[in-house]
Amino acid sequence: MSDPVRVALVVEGPTDVVVLRAAIGALLENREFEVTALQPELSNALEPHTGGGWTAIYLWCRQMLNQAGGLAQTNSLFKTFDLLVLQVDADVAGKRYTDDSRIQNPPDDLPLKECPCPPPNATTDALRRVILGWLDESSLPARTVLSTPSKSTETWVLAALFLNDGTPSTVELECQTNIEAILQNKPLDQRLIRSGHKQIKAYRERESVLRIAWPKVRAKCSEAERFSQDFLAAWTAVLLAR
């Protein structure tokens, strides 16, 4: 029996872990896999031990570089994990490093100049270059995959669960900025967000549905398709290197 695929996640929050785990399960099909959240660190109940948000990902990247002596791909974490997934929502393009007082001497690459949407990748391509800067890289290190949902991971959730229930579609799905409001206004028994707070239990209850619906998400969301292709390419490279 093959060893499980070991995937490390560095993401904004615990609900992103659920969604990406569902996507990875769909992509790997019947292959066993293990997902470990490095950021935020989570309990078995998916409750964070450490803070989340995009600034925590920036700080994690900088700390990882210090531990690796300046090269991301030489970090010892790749002795433990086959793949590393970094997830940053596209709405981070409009954020500022001054949002987090822990960040000292930040770069000057955020906020990005506002790009038209569609196409979603006008923003996500630029954001990916910012993330590479966090890693002090000009190209993505081996065995590393970026996930940059437009405008957030909740876009993928909506595409998986609610596209056939009358959700407005006059604006391209990946360009809508009110996805979380749409999810919050669903009937109570379908609601994943309440009073502005994502309900981790509700996400976990729908993980298997998200996994089954992943092909539909890939067809509807270009960033989901990009993540899927990049993940499978990275995993194939790992297999070929063995």
Mean pLDDT across 116-143: 94
Q: What is the pTM of this model?
A: 0.92
Radius of gyration (Cα) for the chain, nearest Å?
17
> Does the pLDDT value for residue 93 go beyond 80?
yes
Identify the weakest region by mean pLDDT among 11-15, 30-34, 37-41, 108-112.
37-41
Give every CB contact of residue 53 below 8 A, 6+ residues apart in sequence: 12, 13, 100
Q: Report pLDDT digits (tens) over 158-188.
A: 999 997 765 555 568 999 999 999 999 999 8
Q: Which residue has the higher pLDDT, 83 or 79?
A: 83
Question: Which residue blocks in the chain are alpha helix, DSSP H?
Answer: 14-28, 54-68, 77-80, 121-134, 153-161, 179-184, 200-205, 207-212, 214-220, 222-241
Mean pLDDT across 113-117: 90
Share of the chain above pLDDT 70, in %: 92
Share of the chain above pLDDT 90, in %: 73
Q: What is the mean pLDDT of the chain?
A: 90
Q: Which residue has the higher pLDDT, 167 or 235?
A: 235
Query: Which residue ranges make up each domain of the chain?
Result: 5-241
> Does the pLDDT value for residue 194 go beyond 50?
yes
**pLDDT value at position 241?**
85
| Distance between CA atoms of residues 92 and 24, nearest Å | 23
**pLDDT value at position 65?**
87
**Contact criterion met (CB below 8 Å) for 18 and 207:** yes
Q: Which of 29, 6, 146, 136 has its CA nearest to residue 82?
A: 6
Q: Is the peptide bond before 149 cis (omega within 30 degrees of 0)?
A: no
